[in-house]
Amino acid sequence: MANEPIHIEVTYAIFAEQALLNLEVAADCSIEQAIKQSGILARFPDIDLSKNKVGIFGKITPLANQLRDKDRVEIYRPLIADPKEVRRKRAAEGKRMRKGGGDVDDKKA
């Protein structure tokens, strides 16, 4: 039973394309091994595992962590804009934000 393969997903997304790959890997497979086995590094050459953070179900996790059955490995991109800086800029411009994002139309509010 311990030697049976496990089923996982490896995901990555850029603006124009998303990848969700289903894999069957060895039960003792690490996150890094699964990413390399998935072929996603060839499909997205901009991924650099020494720089890109990875996680399982939204929680940042070290590459060496062992996977469990039905885990979803996520490869994260760097943020395009710093959220704190965007808020500071909006405040400086006198704009208010709606809950959930987006500008409030002061004419309608």
Structure tokens at 56: 């399982």
Higher pLDDT pick, 64 / 3: 64
The total number of residues shown for the chain amounts to 109
Question: Tens of pLDDT along 48-103?
Answer: 999 999 999 999 999 999 999 999 999 998 877 777 887 888 888 876 656 555 65
Q: pLDDT tens digits for 5-17? A: 999 999 999 888 9
Is-above-0.85 flag for pTM? Answer: no
Q: Are strands 72-75 and 54-56 parallel, antiparallel or unpaired?
A: antiparallel
Q: Which two tokens stand for residue 32?
A: 């890094």
Pairing, β 18-25 against β 6-13: antiparallel
47 vs 58: CA distance, rounded Å: 18
- Options 3.10.20.280, 3.40.50.620, 3.20.20.70, 3.40.50.970; CATH of 6-75: 3.10.20.280
